[in-house]
Amino acid sequence: MLAYTYVRPGVFELKEKPLPQLQSDRDAIVKVTLCSICTSDLHIKHGSVPRAVPGITVGHEMVGIVEQVGSAVTKVRPGDRVTVNVETFCGECFFCQNGWVNNCTDPNGGWALGCRIDGGQAEYVRVPFADQGLDRIPDNVTDEQALFVGDVLATGYWAAQISEIKPEDTVLILGGGPTGLCTLQCVLLANPKRVILCDIDPARLAFVREHYPDVLTAGPENLPEFVRANSDHGGADAVLEVAGAPETFRLAWECARPNAIVTIVALYDGPQTLPLPDMYGKNLIFKTGGVDGCNCRETLELIAQGKLDTTPLITHIYPLADIEAAYDLFEHRKDGVIKVAVRC
């Protein structure tokens, strides 16, 4: 089968690989029908994910059809259309029992697919702990509608949850890329009083104004002043940092009101610094990733009900054979790309 492979830092290649096999009675084999490219894949490519294993098939955003299941799998069966969770989790350890599945103590727990074990930018993928990692797609939900449920939408849903957003809040989202836009949709589910989205790209801000006309938009210039002018208590009640740049990390705490929650959703290519003397007296609560992606069933139901729709984010579709061109488009932000779907 064809599989897009992490060869070494800086190099991905489309290779022919053997079909995956069941390795445990809790595994499933899924025939991938549609996958996507995530910014995290680019972090692997450029060596920013030290735990990524050379030789693995990359990709952790995918949907497909169950091909085979182990004898202990009870929740899905061959022929089911499913989403695949970015997190691998046993469902039994202390962390899983508390919903902190990113910290699952299994050796393959947390973000494994497409990082430490073979992922889904391929024709087939093995999914460990299939009863936890797979969710059936409702009949009225298309593959395109479900594509981001297991990762980027799960990230947005988790980020909105842990930010403890209340109806009277002003919420600031830093970053209008795919994860930022999914986070925006999930923040809106909480019906806050006011939402501000900041991005450096005028095209992304135009996209937000077109699709979410009640959301205020701003660039990073003079953002703290803009947020103070559009909030009730001298800054945002909740800030979600989804951009992943040193400048946005600083803006996150600068734009927060005292005693606010600052949720760090983004990955960074280097360490970030908190200048504690400058922050004295703000009494901020910081919450950091990675995503606990254990609410995929709920997000699928919200999609089926028409309350979430991420299909406008899919701006380009490529066949698997042309995935290198898809990566080039996505990495270099060509042709107004937001997300690329890849048919397998």
| pLDDT tens digits for range 133-148 | 999 999 999 999 999 9
In this structure, which topology does domain 154-288 adopt according to CATH? Rossmann fold (3.40.50)
**Residue 152 pLDDT:** 93
Instruction: Report the C-alpha gap between 327 and 271 in whole angstroms.
Output: 26
pLDDT-based confidence at 323, cuts 50/70/90? very high
**Residue 210 confidence (pLDDT):** 96
pLDDT reported for residue 268 = 83
Contacts of 83 by beta carbon, 8 Å cutoff, 6+ apart? 62, 63, 134, 135, 137, 146, 149, 150, 296, 300
Of 218, 219, 252, 214, the closest CA to residue 236 belongs to 252
Phi, psi of 131 (to 5 degrees): -65, -25
State the pLDDT confidence band at 48, using cuts at 50, 70 and 90. Answer: confident
98 forms beta bridges with: none
List the one residue out of 230, 241, 237, 233 whose CA is nearest residue 260: 237
Whole-structure pTM value? 0.93
Q: What is the CATH number of domain 2-151+292-343?
A: 3.90.180.10
**Looking at the predicted structure, is the pLDDT value of residue 42 above 90?**
yes
- Confidence class for position 230, pLDDT limits 50, 70, 90: very high
Distance from C-alpha of 207 to C-alpha of 317, rounded to nearest angstrom: 19
Domains of the chain, residue spans? 2-151+292-343, 154-288
Which pLDDT score is estimated for 291? 79
Average pLDDT on 60-66 reads 97
Give the rounded percent of residues in the chain with a pLDDT score beyond 70. 100
Residues 181 and 197: their CA atoms lie apart, in Å, by 9
Phi, psi of 152 (to 5 degrees): -65, -35
CA distances from 343 to 84, 113, 315 (A): 15, 18, 14
In the numeric block, the tokens 């400048």 are attached to: 247
Average pLDDT estimate for 245-249: 95
- pLDDT, residue 108, reads 87
**Average pLDDT over the chain, rounded to an integer:** 95
* Sign of the dihedral through C-alpha 220, 314, 306, 62: negative
100-104, 192-196, 303-307, 340-344: lowest mean pLDDT where?
100-104
Q: Is the pLDDT of residue 269 over 80?
A: no
Q: Helix (H, G, I), strand (E, B), or coil: what is residue 23? A: coil
Give the CA angle between residues 53, 135, 140 to the nearest 5°: 130
Q: Residue 294: what pLDDT?
A: 79
- At 150-196, the pLDDT tens digits run 999 999 999 999 999 999 999 999 999 999 999 999 999 999 999 99
Contact 126, 23 (CB under 8 A): yes
Query: Among 2-6, 102-106, 197-201, where is mean pLDDT lowest?
Result: 102-106
Q: Please, is 125 exposed, middle or buried when counting C-beta atoms within 10 Å of its C-beta (0-12, 13-18, 19+)?
A: buried
For the cut 90, the answer to whether the pLDDT of residue 132 exceeds it is: yes
pLDDT of residue 293: 79
Q: Which of 31-45, 62-76, 79-93, 268-282 has the lowest mean pLDDT?
A: 268-282
Backbone angles phi, psi at 241, to 5 degrees: -95, 110
From 337, 312, 338, 308, select the one nearest 185 (Cα to Cα).
308
CA distances from 302 to 137, 278, 295, 308 (A): 12, 41, 11, 6
- In the prediction, which pLDDT does 341 show? 98
